Structure 1
Amino acid sequence: MSVASISSIKPHFHPKRLSPPTLRLHTPKIHASASSFLRPLHLPKIPKPLNTHRPITQITMSMEAGIGVMGTKLGMMSFFEPNGTVVPVTVVGFREGNIVTQVKTEATDGYDAVQVGYRRVRDRKLTKPEMGHLEKSGIIPLRHLQEFRLQSLEGFEPNQRLVLEELFNEGDLVDVSGTTIGKGFQGGIKRHHFKRGPMTHGSKSHRQLGSIGAGTTPGRVYPGKKMPGRMGGTKRKIRKLKIVKIDNDLKIVMIKGALPGKPGNLLRITPAKIVGKNIPKS
């Protein structure tokens, strides 16, 4: 390489790289107009206060067709009518009780109802608040207290005994409610009357539940699926049962059909609700 060619080579130095570093402040440019000052400021949203004046829905108990009583289930038997017809009946006995313990009105409690007590017990079987509630009206210690919501409270007062013969007659229809017999944890065949699988030809699914749904769609089990679980021990009401016989000497009443619970179970007997007769249509 010649000297002329060497002298023609210019160094590639960038002038900005050799200059000392400078500190630059990047300030945003403000473009303001007259209309921008008239716009409202965008403040953060404040959550609205809860509406405390919203009406609260109250769960109210349905009205009864009339005052009822409480009894004890004794068992079942066959009753022969005068024409020879055999009727299966449930015998219900009555211990000491069925006394009006309190009359609730719209002014004092917000609704009209009659509280009835049943089955006399010793004083030590009740708590002090329960004893104080009954001693207000001079009532004997009672084990069970239940309310009957009525449309009219005329003729009811505390410490009044309810007589079965004055409330019901033979041939009347009644609604009976009680607690069913608890059967514990049961399978699908006993609990929901499922069909069993084949018992032969190498089948190994006899009383199992089987498939409960698809895997991909919907990918879950729907709520309310009938499956094995706890059976019985729930409240059940049987409507429109006929009173076959009332025995005043034995203090029993015979009701046609089966009633919930085992012998010794507490039952609630009320007049049957018949729309248009003792219950308005609307």
Structure 2
Amino acid sequence: MTQIYLEDGTAVPVTVVQAGPCHVLQVRSVDRDGYQAVQLGFEDKPRRLAARSERGHVAKLEGKRSKSRGADALPKADCEPQKFIREFRGETDLEVGATVTVEQFAEVKKVDVTGTSKGRGFAGVMKRHNFSGQRASHGVKKVHRHAGGTGCSASPSRLFKGRRMGGQYGNAKQTTRNLEVVRIDAENNLLLIRGAVPGPNGGFVSVRQTNKV
């Protein structure tokens, strides 16, 4: 994250996202796959670190193991294996092997950003759910950050699903919606989005035009 200044001198906090170039790896169709989507890959992965299936997904592999199974082979993007692959639903006029750049967002004003939030491990109720904790008086002995009572009476003698307790916090898929696109740097494929997005610095995110009105 950083900040930039608008023409009127207003300071705006922004997150800089490298949005491309992305290779079109596959195009889903209703006839073959039952739905319409485009599959994009971002950032080349060294071949020595890529599995054979990952290399065969983006390029045709020659050898004894490559046999024809009778079906028409899908077209390949003929690029390097990709680190981050995601599908985006909807109609598209892109073809396999094409390259998508940040210029796709030239006319877009608001976007949704999906990523994996920072993992915080096993957290208590104060950190995870913003509980206030128990009193700091003499009557409370060494349980100041505990949740307190959670049970019901003799009936129904159990806890209901959804009770807020300590547990795994973060490391989950999260979408921040309706963020403003402040600026586009087409030369460096940079997208400047107002505010924060899920995940750590250097993390992978998916950016799409928002459907929130």
Shorter-chain TM-score bucket reads 0.7 to 0.9
The answer as to 2:19 corresponding to 1:81 is no
How many Å separate the matches in 2 of 1:186 and 1:274? 32
Identity %: 36
From 162, 173, 189, the equivalent of 1:235 is: 173
Shift of 1:170: 7.0
How many Å separate the matches in 1 of 2:112 and 2:2? 20
Report if aligned partners of 1:170, 1:246 keep a CA contact under 8 Å in 2.
Answer: no
Report if aligned partners of 2:151, 2:158 keep a CA contact under 8 Å in 1.
Answer: yes
- What's the counterpart of residue 200 of structure 1? 137
How many Å separate the matches in 2 of 1:200 and 1:170? 59
- What's the counterpart of residue 58 of structure 2? 134
Report if aligned partners of 2:26, 2:40 keep a CA contact under 8 Å in 1.
Answer: yes
From 112, 135, 146, the equivalent of 1:175 is: 112
How many Å separate the matches in 1 of 2:30 and 2:50? 28
- What's the counterpart of residue 46 of structure 1? none
Shift of 1:215: 3.8
- What's the counterpart of residue 89 of structure 2? 149
How many Å separate the matches in 1 of 2:188 and 2:83? 22
Deviations 1:14-65 (A, max 9, x none): xxxxxxxxxxxxxxxxxxxxxxxxxxxxxxxxxxxxxxxxxxxxxxxxxxxx
Structure 1 runs of 4+ aligned residues shifted over 3 Å read none
Identify, as 1 or 2, the structure richer in strand. Answer: 2
245-254 vs 80-89, greater mean Cα deviation: 245-254
- What's the counterpart of residue 202 of structure 2? 264
TM-aligned CA distance change 1:110 to 1:128, over 3 Å: same
TM-aligned CA distance change 1:170 to 1:102, over 3 Å: closer
Shift of 1:251: 2.9
Query: Residue type matched to 1:98 in 2?
Result: C
Within 5 Å, give how 1:271-282 maps onto structure 2: 271-274=209-212
- SS of 1:189's equivalent in the other structure is helix
From 15, 18, 23, the equivalent of 1:90 is: 15
Report if aligned partners of 2:19, 2:102 keep a CA contact under 8 Å in 1.
Answer: no
The answer as to 2:33 corresponding to 1:109 is yes
| TM-score of the superposed pair, with normalisation by structure 2 | 0.86
TM-aligned CA distance change 1:156 to 1:251, over 3 Å: closer
Which one scores higher on RCO, CA 8 angstroms, separation ≥ 6? Answer: 2
Shift of 1:106: 1.2
How many Å separate the matches in 2 of 1:144 and 1:92? 14
| TM-score of the superposed pair, with normalisation by structure 1 | 0.66
Deviations 1:59-84 (A, max 9, x none): xxxxxxxxxxxxxxxxx112221112
Query: Residue type matched to 1:179 in 2?
Result: T
Report if aligned partners of 1:170, 1:243 keep a CA contact under 8 Å in 2.
Answer: no
Query: Residue type matched to 1:208 in 2?
Result: H
How many Å separate the matches in 1 of 2:35 and 2:212? 23
Give the length in aligned residue pairs. Answer: 196
- What's the counterpart of residue 251 of structure 1? 189
How many Å separate the matches in 2 of 1:236 and 1:93? 19
